[in-house]
Structure 1
Amino acid sequence: MSSQVAEAAGSKLRAWRENPAQFAHECFGFNPDPWQLDVLQAFPHNQRLAMKACKGPGKTGLLSILIWNFLATRPHPKVACTSITADNLADGLWTELAKWRNNSPFVKQAFEWTKTRIFARDHPETWWASARTWSKGADSNQQADTLAGLHADYLLFVLDEVGGIPDAVMAAAEAGLSTGIETKIVMAGNPTHLEGPLYRASTNERHLWHLTEITGDPDDPKRSPRISVQWAREQIEKYGRDNPWVLVNVFGRFPPSSLNALLGPDEVSEAMRRHLREDQYSFAAKLLGVDVARFGDDRNVVFPRQGMAAFRPKILRNVRTNELADVVALASQTWGAHGIFVDGTGGYGAGVVDSLLLKGHAPIEVSFAGKAMNPRYFNKRAEMYFEAAEWVKRGGALPNIPELQRELCAITYTFQGDKLRVEEKEHIKERLGYSPDLADGFVLTFAAPIAPPPPGPPGLVRTNRAATEYDPIHRQEEANAATEYNPFA
């Protein structure tokens, strides 16, 4: 290489180092959005950069551009990349790095990409970026090891989906800033937690960070143009501006609490005091939620609901599969149920489902760990619990059962990435001292929409009693039981 060519190449690299936006345009044809340009311009001059973002503004793509800029314009740099999970890192940031590499002849010629490592072809041992993760069961020391022990003159730590990344990981990155010529931390994520690195960078450590806040608010002139205005307005209209999911994913704002109770005691108490007339629910489909006991101290629960009225459930202990199926079948036949949802998580409800099928019924097996129909939710459990909570808040009537109130008020939720996740049953059982079987039976009635029955001739006697006192499963013992509809009479 002639001295003129070498000088020209060096001049170009210096220009790219001082102006990452120029690098992005000339290497990748990348034209940044206004907020992305702000980050690109800040990158050479700040040791710590944080992006607090709504859903989908292009933050992972920008992280990739910054990584390639650091690799291309610093001598013998080291870049350590991590994310909230190994899958998230592999499917998100690491795949994005490969995409941009393939868009640039210069980068593709200079660097090799593998599933866990990127390295300069001329200096593979000393000029690289690596993908680093921790195991699901890792303790704080093991988490810290993810980024620990790295030192170099030019060192960059990149944390994607940082909202849920443990503090120990960030502490290891901070330690890496103690030496070197140019050392940096860049992180980006959704504001899902009121703790952790992103929260501190947005609050008490704000003075240490160049913080870029990215919103999809359709009424904000500085909103990310990559967020569909129609989608954002639909989410706001459907769930409300104060909904935690909307706050995080549309507005890019922290929720009121990172770990929320799904329902408060006042909301549940009001639902248990609520009285409905029969004509307020009689047009709706009759549904049975069947929670099957997993262990000897758990309860089998058959929970009936019709529209906005939920009725007193049947609770059975230590019964065989066929006995539970008999109770469900009898309730379904005498009450005229239009849908039976059986908890099939872990295979415990399979025998009940098979027995009901043999009896001529058409139960729907539901896995709490299964995929939700709505992508807002982490799994089916979260979806059903949120649907049930919205039902309570809209005016649903619950039977007055103290244990049910305690269970519903014990359910908490948080965020897994950008999805709402409800606390697992095992954790709730540890806190309560027993399994939340009543709550699970109730929310099973929200597993799937069932079309209401066609209108029929008038039949049942209407009474002035609360809808939740109506009992489609239990035999009434009171003197006035004859005036109550009883499927076993």
Structure 2
Amino acid sequence: MDQAPAMQPQRVIIPYRPRFPQTVIHPNLESHRFNVVVAHRRMGKTYLAINHMIKMAVNLRLPHGRYAYMAPLLKQAKMIAWDYLKRFTIPFPGRKVNESELWVEIPNCNGTTSRIYIMGADNPDAIRGIYLDGAILDEYGQFKPDVWGSVIRPLLADRNGWCVFMGTPKGQNQFYDIYLYAQKAMAENNPAWYCALFRADETGVLSPQELEDMRRTMSDAQFRQEFLCDFTASADNVLLTIDIVTAAAAKIFTPRDLQGSPKILGVDPARFGDDRSVFVPRWGLQMLNPEIYRKVDNMTLVGHLTRKVESFRPDMTFCDAGHGAGIIDRMRQLGYVDITEVAFGGTPIAPNQYVDKRSEMWGLMYEWFLLGGAIPNLPELKTDLVVPTFSYDANNRMKLESKDDIKKRLGKSPDLGDGLAVTFAFPVQPKDRMEAIAQYRQQGGVVFARQDFDPFKD
């Protein structure tokens, strides 16, 4: 590979001034190799994408850089991005523009040049045979599903190239899949991946008045998809919508608010090697931060669970019996008797309303959300909660989509969602209330206040 002396630094000012959330996104794109950005309409993602690519192309210290901005159709890519690319590269000395092949060439820090192509995913074979130092895949959900794996990814291998997947949701397609994959990678602290989702009611790019006007004139599904970035907007059989879950993530209750409410711990042990074992503590209307464990054996998980029970001191612990029988038996051997097995496929308390126990628990959790339930603002949790769909059987009973079907569809189980749902397995009374009732009965109706009781103690 021919090497040229590094170009002397030269100050170039381009007519681009990033705003929020672009100011948040740019540093992350520069520090991660693979990036997924879910953006509402009119957020300025194409502005961001073109300027990110220009900066990376100029700062490249390898010779003859090659970059590609790609939209679903070539005509669409030219309409959206070509003028931006030409406009923002005007200040660079020695710039070359090829109108017929849609590329711009600018100097880079290697002393050679970098070339940026505008391309369409409708003709991916046109890009085969070259290498890429970076790629922007805009509106990736509308690409042919094999473009990434069979075309783009191999082109990034030669020079450790980067990629940004961008777009607005359009159903649960490959863009949704790569978003879920990136979320999982971030949760596993994979430094190569970054993902973020930006809704119009959170960025401030559009005024509240404009949003409200669009909400009134667009269909609910259109508004949710285009401006609230709801991957499930086109589906009418999703139990928990992104609106419900997002509203719950914005609430926080204080210990005083929760005084007198039961403390419940939900345990959903891993089913397969890549699934997660989760502990989900819930205190009345407030779900607290979950604990997630991967690839741990049952006895190790029991050690973590005893520690959690000692610190959280739940009134009851509910555990999925299907894959937690050994955990439950060991906990009881250790003297932790307030643990109840829950058969997700078992008989519900209300068999006329629900097909099985898991459907009932999710149904009761849905009612809890409507009553004002609050959850931590964790992307992985919110994703799990909005994944399951539901249907009705011949007897008009609700049936939730099975974990196996979800895993086939998405490649992962909604373990955090099931961990919260299992806290609704059976009614639970706070131990202090039960003790007070027992004291009342023993003392002929007279209850003496407990001087050592501290409702704020964890």
Instruction: Please give the TM-score of this superposition, normalised by the length of structure 1.
Output: 0.40
Instruction: Please give the TM-score of this superposition, normalised by the length of structure 2.
Output: 0.43
Structure of greater Rg: 1
